[in-house]
């Protein structure tokens, strides 16, 4: 099967909804996109996998729009302290970028499947429960931004998100909690860190697979639909998720991950 002939605009819209809903929640957008594409009977070639990555651009734009005032203020203070913020993002982005370049093809060959996603979902659930069990000890350690050292630790944790099903958002938020950030601050930095991380992945896959992804008007329409839908859905998710974190823990997402993993194991069996 090939991406170009299997996908219609309504498939792209559904994938856009899934991307927008799951990119910033601790449930793994890539894992859900793989599962959605699998059950829709879409192609599983490199171009199909690249489509999953490229429509993340909609979620990236949602972050820019939601945090536009903060980003604008940081840009205005470049040379007067604002560059430290972008240095923190670079430090957090670099580990996953290096590992992704070295192991990206191996990951797509061996971990983009139902069974690996199920295992990652279950392991991620245990991580959430483990961190939340000790969260009260650091509940009051709310900070506006992580330090450079904290940013590096969060970036190292993000490397594990290259395994579909783990969730970049989950790992960066949990790592932020472990190093002393409050839930809202950890989530906000996770969203900011998505800009270079998802941006680089999107640009790389679009450049590498541009001939397949942009081969026809149908392909271009699919990308535009997936992008637009993921943008609007992600914009809503970001706003409501931040409010959710003010009064709730991530435990509900752990139980969801375990339930989905169990369903997938039954399906595989």
Secondary structure (H, E, C), 12-42: HHHHHHHHHHHCCCCCCHHHHHHHHHHHHCC
CA distance 128 to 170: 8
pLDDT along the chain (269 residues), means of 10: 58 91 90 82 67 83 93 85 88 93 85 88 95 66 76 95 91 92 90 90 78 73 89 94 89 95 87
pLDDT at 228: 94
Listed in sequence order, the residues at least 6 apart from 208 whose beta carbon sits closer than 8 Å to its beta carbon are: 50
> Which residues form the domain of 202?
3-268
The pair of three-digit structure tokens given for residue 156, joined into one six-digit string? 């190292």
pLDDT at 221: 86
CA–CA dist 57, 201 (Å, integer): 9
Looking at the 3D structure of the chain, how many domains does it have?
Answer: 1
CA distance between the termini of the chain? 24
For the chain, the three-class secondary structure string (H helix, E strand, C coil) is: CCHHHHCCHHHHHHHHHHHHHHCCCCCCHHHHHHHHHHHHCCCCCHHHHHHHHHCHHHHHHHHHHHCHHHHHHHHHCCCCCCHHHHHHHHHHHHHHHHHHHHHHHHHHHHCCCHHHHHHHHHHHHHHHHHHHHCHHHHCCCCCCCCCHHHHHHHHHHHHHHHCCCCCHHHHHHHHHHHCCCCHHHHHHHHHHHHHHHHHHHHHHHHHHCHHHHCCCHHHHHHHHHHHHHHHHHHHHHHHHHHHHHCCCCCHHHHHHHHHHHHHHHHHHC
- Provide CB contacts within 8 A for 142, sequence distance 6+: 181, 182, 184, 185
Residue of 250, 113, 100, 117 lying closest to 172 (CA atoms) = 250
Q: Measuring CA to CA, which residue among 134, 201, 133, 131 is closest to residue 161?
A: 201
């Amino acid at each position: 099967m090939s991406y170009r002939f299997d996908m219609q605009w309504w498939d792209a819209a559904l994938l856009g909804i899934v991307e927008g809903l799951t990119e910033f929640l601790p449930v793994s957008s890539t894992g859900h996109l793989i599962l959605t594409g699998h059950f829709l009977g879409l192609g599983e070639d490199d171009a199909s996998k690249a489509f999953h990555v490229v429509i993340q651009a909609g979620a990236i734009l949602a972050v820019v729009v939601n945090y536009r005032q903060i980003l604008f203020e940081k840009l205005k203070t470049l040379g007067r302290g604002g560059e430290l913020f972008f240095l923190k993002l670079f430090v957090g982005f670099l580990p996953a970028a290096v590992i992704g370049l070295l192991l990206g093809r191996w990951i797509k060959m061996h971990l983009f499947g139902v069974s690996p996603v199920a295992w990652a979902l279950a392991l991620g659930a245990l991580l959430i429960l483990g961190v939340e069990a000790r969260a009260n000890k650091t509940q009051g350690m709310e900070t506006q931004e992580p330090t450079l050292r904290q940013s590096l630790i969060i970036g190292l944790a993000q490397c594990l998100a290259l395994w579909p099903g783990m969730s970049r958002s989950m790992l960066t938020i949990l790592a932020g909690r472990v190093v002393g950030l409050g839930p809202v601050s950890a989530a906000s930095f996770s969203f900011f860190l998505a800009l270079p991380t998802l941006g680089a992945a999107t640009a790389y896959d679009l450049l590498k697979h541009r001939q397949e992804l942009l081969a026809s008007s149908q392909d271009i329409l699919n990308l535009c639909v997936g992008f637009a839908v993921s943008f609007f859905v992600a914009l809503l998710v970001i706003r409501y998720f931040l409010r959710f974190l003010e009064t709730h823990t991530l435990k509900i997402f752990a139980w969801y991950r375990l339930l989905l993993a169990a369903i997938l194991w039954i399906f595989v069996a």
